[in-house]
Amino acid sequence: MNAQIHDGIPPLFWEEYAEQRWGQYISAIEEKIIRFAHSQLVTPTTALEIGAEGGRWSKLLADLGWRMTCTEIDPVALAVCQQRIPDSRCVLVDLESRDLPCGNNSQDLILAIEVHELVEQSWFVDEVGRVLKDGGIFVGVFQNKHSWRAALNLKSMLQGTMRHYTAGYLPWKRNMMGRGYRFLREEGICWMPFGRRSNSIFVKPATHLEQLLGLRQLTSVSPWIVFAAIKEPARPSDPGASNER
């Protein structure tokens, strides 16, 4: 598996991180779960990626036959994404915007990969529920407040300025299940003490150990969780079964 794009365009900010050993480890798990979601959906139709940057994941899906809508707050990254995936609909969004640029029940697949400040927010989950079709899959990455990595941000936590690790995974997951999502795949990652930019030769053995010890199954206390959740069709008697606006 290889999430790197080799098309002559210099790697963007987060793509450079993804090329380091720690980034490769994270990307390989993200890619596995994105490909899993694709395989579950059988026929590629329309998908939305939020925070697509230069489009490494959107390109992967577009090459698999998906018609992509890609959002970004960074116009330079979005221009690269559009260049790499000419058929995609690339939408520049405002950091403060509180809606997704797609119609009700219009997408079979939604990605929010490493857009950490969004996934746990209730407006965002409401919007994913509005846009995702019944039977559609939401793939994302969650930074878990109930993990050792959250403690690294203790100062900003105490000052109330914390932007990452703001919610616990288990309560969030329960909330999602209450909204009718079923979690198909979850992997708890980033247990080992490497920084985001690490290119240490110890990444491989350490992350292998993480796997051997079964830490990836301990999602309630994992630092990051990569998940794929399917939106179950609402039963007619469910309150809010219709999500018409």
Ligand X SMILES: C[S@@+](CC[C@H](N)C(=O)[O-])C[C@H]1O[C@@H](n2cnc3c(N)ncnc32)[C@H](O)[C@@H]1O
Residues that bind ligand X (CB under 6 A): 14, 50-53, 56-57, 71-74, 77, 93, 95, 113-115, 118
Q: In the complex with ligand X, which residue's Cβ is closer, 74 or 187?
A: 74
Instruction: Please report, as a single letter, which amino acid is at residue 205.
Output: P
Query: Minimal distance in Å, beta carbon 101 to ligand X?
Result: 10
Which residue is closest to ligand X by CB?
51
Amino acid at 13: F
Residue 221: closest CA among 171, 172, 168, 176: 168
Query: From CA 19, how far away is CA 66, in angstroms rounded?
Result: 25
Neighbours of 165 (CB within 10 A): 23
**Closer residue to ligand X in complex, CB, 10/240:** 10
The distance of closest approach from Cβ of residue 180 to ligand X in the complex, given in angstroms and rounded to an integer, is 24
Nearer to ligand X among residue 52 and residue 131 (C-beta): 52
**Best CA proximity match to 60, nearest among 72, 73, 47:** 47
> What are the tokens at 64?
């698999």
Smallest separation (angstroms) from ligand X to the CB of 192:
19
User: Is 60 or 180 the residue whose CB approaches ligand X more closely?
Assistant: 60
Give the pair of three-digit tokens for residue 15. 């793509």
CB of 206 to ligand X, least distance (A): 22
C-beta of 199 vs 220, nearer to ligand X: 199
| Least CB distance to ligand X at residue 115 (A) | 4
Residue from 125, 228, 238 nearest 182 by CA? 228
Rounded to 5 degrees, φ, ψ at 75 are -65, -30
